Amino acid sequence: MSTDLAEHHDELRAVAREVLAVARRRGSGEEPPPLDDQTLAAAGWLGLEAPEALEGAGATLAEVAVILHEMGRSPVCSGYLGSAVLGVGTLNLLEPTDARDELLRQVAAGAVRAAVGVPTGDDVVGPAAPSFRLESDGRRLRLHGHAAFVPDATDADRLLLLARGPASTLVVVAVEPTGSGLRVVEQQVLDRTRNLGEISAEGVEVAEGSVWRFAADPETSACRLLDRAALAIACDSLGLAEAMMEATVAYAGVRHQFGRPIGSFQAVQHACADMLVQVMVSRELVGTAVELLGGEQPDGGRAVSMAKSHVCAMAVDVVGKAMQLHGGIGYTWESGVHVYLKRAVLNRSLFGSPTAHRKRLGQRYLGGVSASSED
């Protein structure tokens, strides 16, 4: 990374921490602190990747990763993942049209909130298998399908649904959430900082102009979208693991037991050192994945699976260890450790479990072995 770019990211990170700190102070009790779209738009985060011609910042995935990382460090309830990360990311992959450009402009300005209906479980790993299908009876196009645990679906003004069309081509169908035959309901999860919804479509009539095509190869573009979602969760998990590690080290320096700081005990020192090693490895994996996927490199998907599988499993271990090292207070509501633990556990499963991503990596290497043996 160039010095100028590193300085730019440092400035972006500092601003993000300040904005999130203000939002965190507004939270209290059971409800997570909110971060509304107006604040996100004013900070310029919603339009980071939108083209400058459409009133965006014309930035890259690297800048979005900085924001995601900081949101992991200070969990808040916002529509950033669904609308900006996935919504803008999807729109950028589509062929430019007047309708697409207008929606992209509105999402970047915070006037419209979008949600993207794609697989969110282990089926996200590997060849794109959309949750929806578009059928034609010769006169009308009708949408069928179901997607669960879609980020920010219940608050969305527009739904972008990945579907396989009548000619088996992957497309994105843009629909209103209030359309006839379309059902969007909230799904309750332990992590109160996430807003997840279930989208069901039963014969929803779709206009030809609402079917948007990818600018590049549809299969490759859809895979990039799913990898993008998995990487976003990995960035978030890295941030929350870092925050818990730092909080634990600070606590170990002030909490006294037997007349001395608990950080002076070798067992605590070893535990903190293990947390640091895990976080440092995760930083490298996430950084590599952001660079390769953002640069549209061939190994981007492999790097994402390496990051998602390791970082999300690591985050659960680190937060669990942080709760243990905090002692009794770590299990109380006031400590706030539970917020990070719930988010880490959900992140581990969202957009592919570590097992699913490792299976993807294993299939790649097994394919390489088979090819070598045939030679």
Locate the domains of the chain by residue range. Answer: 1-112, 114-215, 218-374
Predicted local confidence at residue 373, as pLDDT: 38
Segments of the chain scoring below 50 in pLDDT: 369-375
> Could you tell me the sign of the dihedral formed by the alpha carbons of 205, 208, 214, 216, in that order?
positive
Q: What is the pLDDT of residues 117-157, one digit of tens each?
A: 999 998 877 667 899 999 988 889 999 999 999 999 999 99
CATH code, residues 218-374:
1.20.140.10
Least Cα distance to 201 among 123, 157, 141 occurs for: 141
Least Cα distance to 54 among 129, 123, 105 occurs for: 105
| The listed CATH number (1.10.3720.10, 1.20.120.80, 2.60.40.3470, 1.10.540.10) that belongs to domain 1-112 | 1.10.540.10
Q: Which residues pair with 260 in a beta bridge?
A: 257
Q: Check if the beta carbon of residue 212 is closer than 8 Å to that of residue 239.
A: no
Three-state secondary structure call for residue 251: helix
Which residues make Cβ contacts (< 8 Å) with residue 189, sequence separation at least 6?
Answer: 149, 196, 346
Give, in order, the Cα–Cα distances in Å from 167 to each of 76, 116, 133, 196, 291. 42, 22, 11, 31, 34
132-136 vs 141-151, strand pairing mode: antiparallel
> Could you tell me the sign of the dihedral formed by the alpha carbons of 133, 99, 180, 124, in that order?
positive
Predicted local confidence at residue 335, as pLDDT: 84
> Could you tell me the sign of the dihedral formed by the alpha carbons of 365, 369, 374, 375, in that order?
positive
Instruction: For domain 114-215, give the CATH superfamily.
Output: Butyryl-CoA Dehydrogenase, subunit A, domain 2 (2.40.110.10)
Predicted local confidence at residue 142, as pLDDT: 95
1-112 and 218-374, same CATH topology: no
State the Rg of the chain over Cα.
21
Predicted local confidence at residue 87, as pLDDT: 97
* Residue 138 in tokens: 């010769």
Residue whose token pair is 């527009």: 158
Which residues make Cβ contacts (< 8 Å) with residue 267, sequence separation at least 6?
Answer: none
* Residue 318 in tokens: 């680190």
Give the chain's mean pLDDT.
92
